[in-house]
Amino acid sequence: MQNFYQEMWSDLSIRSFATEKLSQILEREKLLHNSVNEYAEIVNEMAGMNKAAVFSHHDQLVSYFFGNPKNVFAFKLTEDRVEELSAWLSKMPTTTFEKEVKNQNGPLFAPRLSTKGVMEQLDQNLIPFSLTNCEVIQGLHKEIRSNISEQIGSPFAFINTRAWVTKSLSNEMGPNAPHKDGFLPGHMKIMVYLTPMSAEYGDFWIEGEQITGEKPGFCIGFKNSDLLHSGKPGTKYPRICIEVTIMRTLQDNKQSHDSHVCGRHFLNVSSAYENLIKQKNCQDMLVEELLANKKTPEATSHAKAGGA
């Protein structure tokens, strides 16, 4: 199957077809809402499934050309990376969900949870870090990309990067209770555990399986909206993790925006192609960019990897 996808994507006419379809999807999204900033508007829109349909069509398009990603996969960061991330987080300020949820700027959908006391409960059990985009995050993304390209199967964009401390003996609530994330189609999460996976430090549960006994730097990627999962607090020490959200796309993209503590995914699919669009200052030029017979190393390697 790898050869199949590789050959298919290397065919100019196939890529032409793909970019035409992408262009149609983005155009539809543009008509739907060129720029959605108002929270109520987003919720209404999502309730109407229009936004979900756009993400779904985009995901189908990516899967058509690159196959499906693996449901779950694991890998390990280097010890040096764990140390670098630990030193960096030690210097990062912490914040609260209550405070951060009020910040609704940026390209990410960050819902205000309406259930009374949810933010308070989150803040009683978790301590989020306030992160701005930086070289350390980009370095982490680079190492993640090199580890997961084959499992993802397609190009992908980094969407959001969060880090938090789960207090020891914290309650079974929010991320500490079994849940699915309910993100719009096309997204996956990679959880990076800086602390060891153990009963003392806490671990992870997914679809009935306890992931434990792993050393610092263990990472697990999974379809966060399809698979039931839960963080497990430690009995003795804090659990410290970094969560990276990605979206499968037709073109690799870095995270160029700041993360959001309450962020879920992009408001618009087009945000994943923003760099290209900005670069050409015209969405139509995106098609040209992708068509321009530039077999980028990323695109080639993803096509090689396949994903089915």
**Rule CB under 8 A: which of 89-108 touch other proteins?**
89-90
- In DSSP notation, 276-303 reads HHHHHTSHHHHHHHHHS----HHHHHHH
- Are 157 and 247 in contact by the 8 Å Cβ rule? The answer is yes
Q: Compute the distance between CA of residue 175 and CA of residue 178 in angstroms, rounded to an integer.
A: 7
Q: Per rule CB under 8 A, is residue 240 in the interface with other proteins?
A: yes
Determine the interface stretch with other proteins among 135-143, 165-173, 183-191, 278-286 (rule: CB under 8 A): 165-173
Lookup result for tokens 């992931």: 211
**Considering only residues 257-296, where is the footprint of other proteins by CB under 8 A?**
none
Note whether 216 binds other proteins by CB under 8 A: yes
Residue from the set 18, 62, 77, 194 that interacts with other proteins by CB under 8 A: 194
**Are 146 and 194 spatial neighbours (Cβ–Cβ below 8 Å)?**
no
* Near other proteins by CB under 8 A: residue from 151, 154, 195, 259: 195
* Minimum CB distance to other proteins smaller for 159 or for 240: 240
Closest among 4, 5, 1 to 299, alpha carbons compared: 5
By CB under 8 A, name the one of 236, 282, 288, 295 that touches other proteins: 236
Q: Which is nearer to other proteins, 62 or 194 (CB)?
A: 194
- Residues across the chain: 308
In angstroms, give the least distance from the CB of 150 to other proteins. Answer: 28
- Residue 165 Cα distances to 24, 122, 237, angstroms: 42, 11, 10
Q: What minimum distance in Å lies between the beta carbon of 126 and other proteins?
A: 11
Residue 83 contacts other proteins per CB under 8 A: yes
**Which two structure tokens, joined as six digits, stand for 226?**
């399809």
The smaller minimum CB distance to other proteins, of residues 174 and 216, is found at: 216
Interface region with other proteins, contact rule CB under 8 A, candidates 87-95, 116-124, 180-188, 271-279:
87-95
| Residue 79 binding other proteins, by CB under 8 A | yes
Identify residues 109-128 at the interface with other proteins (CB under 8 A).
127
Under a CB-based contact definition with an 8 Å cutoff, are residues 262 and 100 in contact?
Answer: yes
DSSP 233-246: E-SSS-EEEEEEEE
Q: Which one, of 131, 164, 128, 159, lies nearest residue 144 by Cα? A: 159
Q: Which one, 63 or 166, has the nearer CB to other proteins?
A: 166
Cβ neighbour number for residue 70 with a 10 Å cutoff = 15
- According to the binding rule CB under 8 A, does residue 86 interact with other proteins? yes
Interaction between residue 247 and other proteins (CB under 8 A): no
Lookup: tokens for 141? 């993304």
Q: Is 307 in the site for other proteins (CB under 8 A)?
A: no
Residues forming contacts to other proteins in the complex (CB under 8 A) are 79, 82-84, 86-87, 89-90, 127, 165, 167-168, 194-195, 201, 216, 236-238, 240
